[in-house]
Structure 1
Amino acid sequence: MSAAAAVTPVEVEVTFLRMDRPPADPAPALPEGVRVERVRRCTTAFYRFLYDTVGQDYLWWFRRTVSDTHLGAILASPQVSIHVLYNDGEPAGFYELERRSNRSTNISYFGLLPHAVGQRMGRAFLRHAVDLCWAEGAAAVTVNTCTADHPRALPNYLASGFTVYRRVREEWPVPGNLGLKLPSQPARTSPAR
């Protein structure tokens, strides 16, 4: 991004959530023909396809601004893994896990491609991510969402057993040259349950 690129400040409320023990209820099954696969050597091109497509309507902008070299280093880190949801062989979503030094695992990114939204895969896919974190020995699982994300994101995290531990208002300097749809006004989240 050049120094002269126009930047639009966008105000969002970010909600940080945490899960301190594995869910007690049985995991919902993924629909028939749907599977999750870990991408062992995720290329920057494939990652950018997933990130850009999932986040195009939700103001996912930060990783669009980092260089391929920087992104490649993130993807090559042994603490990071990329997991792709496939529906009949076609990518339908992805999540990114980051294992931290305090033994917590953060779900850094989670989402469905536009054609998969509303197809009743999200809850089982989220549970897949959560269960994998616990199976790998996480001491806690964290995730965050914001008012620019899909409106079902926060309710889904809460329904899956996450609890809110912090909310902050942030102003993001979104570069105008990314072609993203900007929200007209910040949305407010509802109080935590």
Structure 2
Amino acid sequence: MKVTTWSLQMHEPRPQAPRPFPDGVRLDRATGITPEYARFLYALVGGPWTWTDRLGWSRQQWADELAVPGSEFWVLYSDGAPAGYAQLHPTVEPNGTHVEIRYFGLCDRVIGRGLGSRLLEHTIAAAWTLPARTPLPGLPGLPAHTERPEHIEHSERPDHTARAALPGHTVLPGVARVWVHTCSLDGPAALANYQGRGLVIYHTEETDENVPDQPLGSWISTGGPTPGSTVDAAVGAVGAEGPA
């Protein structure tokens, strides 16, 4: 299948503050994220859009990804249940920290409610302020800065010059670039959403990809059994044994 991939970037934060979410919707930074929950979010959101690359990852691969200094998961909740998420992944380059929006998306059940644009606004703001939440042990400290937010408030303005430090620690360099990939297999509104939030295309590539004819869907991607699967057989065998 022919797949078009767009790479987008921005070198300055958005001048506008992120818009608030409606009642019943909140965005949390998942500071206690585990490999199990990270994989669940990836499968839940990506199942309808052919996200398959990481379904076969081992638990250790997920743990290594989460252990990267500055790696962040921001989880959107609606009516108490996960409704989407964003993963931020920083790398240090000669001109500063580059933050990739590595994964971003909504669950099927909330698409069409205008949450995608708001989630992206908050994600971009979090990307530009990421160094303020990332102390690195064992390096010379910088002047202390006491604000270390775990949650982005609606009134916060992104400050890409922020530095935060604890005694004996320093942080990632200031953010110089926020970037993202999206492709023609993603949701139809993805590219327009990124462009509408200030990200600009800098590279386009068309490749032949071996992808499933149809997306697996969230149920199968998250590990749900299908008729005749090993899980179904195991459950059936337990049921046949009767009560102990």
Relative to the length of structure 1, the TM-score reads: 0.82
Deviations 1:95-133 (A, max 9, x none): 000011121100000000111111211111100010111
For residues 64-143 of structure 1, the aligned pairs below 5 Å read: 64-102=55-93, 103-136=97-130, 137-143=174-180
Return the alpha-carbon distance in structure 1 between the equivalents of residues 37 and 109 of structure 2: 17
Equivalenced residue count is 171
Give the AA of the match of 1:106. Answer: E
- The yes-or-no answer on 1:155 pairing with 2:192 is yes
1:180 to 216, 219, 232: 216
Contact 1:28/1:123 (CA < 8 Å) preserved in 2?
A: no
TM-aligned CA deviation for residue 44 of structure 1: 1.9
Return the alpha-carbon distance in structure 2 between the equivalents of residues 26 and 80 of structure 1: 23
Higher mean alpha-carbon deviation, 158-167 vs 31-40, is at 31-40
Give the AA of the match of 2:182. Answer: T
Deviations 1:4-42 (A, max 9, x none): xxxxxx331100000111112332221122111111232
Return the alpha-carbon distance in structure 2 between the equivalents of residues 71 and 174 of structure 1: 22
> Runs of 5+ in structure 2 lacking a partner?
131-173, 218-244
Q: Which residue of the partner structure matches residue 167 of structure 1?
A: 204
Return the alpha-carbon distance in structure 2 between the equivalents of residues 17 and 108 of structure 1: 12
Return the alpha-carbon distance in structure 2 between the equivalents of residues 74 and 174 of structure 1: 24
TM-aligned CA deviation for residue 94 of structure 1: 0.5
Give the AA of the match of 1:167. Answer: T
Q: Which residue of the partner structure matches residue 56 of structure 1?
A: 47
Higher percent of residues as strand:
1
Deviations 1:168-188 (A, max 9, x none): 112333479x9727xxxxxxx
Contact 2:50/2:212 (CA < 8 Å) preserved in 1?
A: no
SS at match of 2:51: coil
Contact 1:39/1:84 (CA < 8 Å) preserved in 2?
A: yes
Deviations 1:108-162 (A, max 9, x none): 0000011111121111110001011112342111011000000000000000000
Contact 1:50/1:113 (CA < 8 Å) preserved in 2?
A: no
**Identity score, percent:** 34
Return the alpha-carbon distance in structure 2 between the equivalents of residues 79 and 17 of structure 1: 21
Q: Aligned Cα RMSD in Å?
A: 1.9
> Runs of 5+ in structure 1 lacking a partner?
1-9, 182-193
- The yes-or-no answer on 1:42 pairing with 2:33 is yes
TM-aligned CA deviation for residue 166 of structure 1: 0.1
CA gap of 1:72–1:172, structure 2 versus 1, over 3 A, is: farther
SS at match of 2:65: helix
Return the alpha-carbon distance in structure 1 between the equivalents of residues 187 and 76 of structure 2: 18
Return the alpha-carbon distance in structure 2 between the equivalents of residues 132 and 179 of structure 1: 30
Return the alpha-carbon distance in structure 2 between the equivalents of residues 45 and 11 of structure 1: 32
TM-aligned CA deviation for residue 65 of structure 1: 2.2
Return the alpha-carbon distance in structure 1 between the equivalents of residues 20 and 70 of structure 2: 27
Give the AA of the match of 1:180. Answer: L
